[in-house]
């Protein structure tokens, strides 16, 4: 805890676009946290270097991603927004924590195994060290809570293990973070493979909606969404995952219950459902897209925001790092 508020920390790689699934399932919940917590949100640009990037394209994607953060409603006056690489304490603490993390711990990470299989020609040390950098991200800010998805739970457990190990060796130094479980967060699945979560990594671009997709593209993707053959508009995730996913999206963006949404489609078919979902999503994203189109052209403002965020983040991070350096016996500079 820092000051009177508990700390929530999250960092996301700048993939270029925030998906509708990210927005409804994660960022929507972040927006609700900013009044009650000290909320720190980073663009995890160092993490993304484990995969080869085209430098010019990567910079453009990172700036676009940052503009999308702001366009979604994340307010720099209520939270700290910054680029991970602009706060050198992340990399510095990672080296210290490397010395308290065992090779077997990082080698057994599911994500390391999966990415090693996908990128057999580039199994680099950064890929193995990814969870230690993630631990540094979280522990630098004495985070009480970390919103995590299923794919990151294992990394958070390692973060907790490292923190407890260090605290036991050197006396309490790090807050041991807990996963933040939102009271309600919509689970949004792929429009083409409704058994899998909506993700930018989906090889089929029709499977996900980007927040900055033009309205005609959004409409086309929903028109092509996978449903089934029986024509019944009911909520049944096991037997009708495609239809259930569309109903969830419609209920979430219109702030209604799934049951009330279903009642709108008595005697109607999937074409009407898909059109209604597309219309609702387009309307929901309209102000976000308007904000994004304005922000992405204002590089001076974006720079001001991320520099201010980095200064605030570094102030907190430097206090933690100084404490760690003293604990391990390094000579003060």
- Catalytic positions, written as ranges: 115, 197, 200
User: C-alpha 86: how far from its chain's center?
Assistant: 19
Fill in the DSSP letter of residue 46: T
Whether the CB-CB separation of 51 and 15 falls below 8 Å is answered with: no
Could you tell me how many residues make up the chain?
A: 333
Dmax over CA atoms of the chain, in Å, equals 76
Sheet with strand 178-180: strands edge to edge: 79-83, 38-43, 7-12, 145-147, 178-180
Gap between the Cα atoms of 323 and 318, Å rounded: 9
Angle (nearest 5°) at CA 40 between 36 and 42: 150
Whether the CB-CB separation of 64 and 296 falls below 8 Å is answered with: yes
- Residue 159: how many CB atoms within 10 A of its CB? 26
| Residue 193 CB contacts under 8 Å (≥ 6 apart), including other chains | 202, 204, 207, 226
The H or E element that residue 43 is part of is strand 38-43
């Amino acid at each position: 805890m820092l000051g009177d508020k508990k700390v929530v920390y999250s960092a996301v790689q700048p993939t270029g676009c925030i998906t509708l699934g990210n927005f409804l399932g994660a960022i929507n919940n972040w927006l609700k946290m900013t009044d009650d917590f000290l909320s720190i949100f980073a663009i995890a640009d160092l993490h993304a270097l484990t995969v080869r990037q085209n430098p010019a394209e990567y910079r453009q994607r990172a700036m676009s991603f940052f503009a999308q953060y702001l366009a979604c409603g994340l307010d720099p006056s209520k939270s700290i927004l910054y680029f991970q690489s602009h706060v050198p304490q992340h990399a510095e603490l990672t080296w210290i924590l490397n010395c308290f993390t065992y090779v077997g711990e990082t080698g057994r990470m599911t994500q390391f195994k999966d990415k090693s299989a996908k990128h057999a020609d580039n199994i680099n040390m950064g890929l193995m060290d990814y969870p230690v950098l993630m631990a540094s991200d979280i522990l630098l800010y004495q985070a009480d809570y970390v919103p995590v998805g299923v794919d990151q739970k294992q990394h958070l457990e390692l973060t907790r293990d490292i923190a407890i190990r260090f605290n036991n060796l050197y006396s309490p130094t790090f807050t041991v973070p807990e996963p933040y479980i939102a009271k309600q967060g919509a689970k949004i699945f792929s429009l083409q493979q409704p058994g899998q979560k909506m993700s930018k990594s989906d090889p089929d671009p029709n499977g996900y909606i980007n927040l900055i997709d033009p309205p005609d593209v959004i409409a086309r993707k929903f028109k092509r969404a996978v449903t089934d053959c029986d024509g019944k508009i009911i909520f049944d995730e096991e037997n009708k995952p495609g239809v259930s996913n569309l109903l969830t999206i419609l209920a979430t963006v219109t702030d209604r219950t799934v049951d009330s949404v279903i009642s709108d489609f008595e005697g109607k078919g999937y074409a009407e459902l898909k059109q209604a979902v597309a219309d609702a999503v387009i309307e929901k994203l309209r102000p976000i897209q308007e904000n994004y189109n304005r922000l992405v052209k204002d590089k001076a403002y974006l720079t001001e925001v991320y520099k201010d965020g980095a200064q605030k983040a570094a102030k907190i991070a430097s206090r933690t790092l100084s404490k760690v350096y003293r604990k391990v016996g390094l000579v003060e500079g």
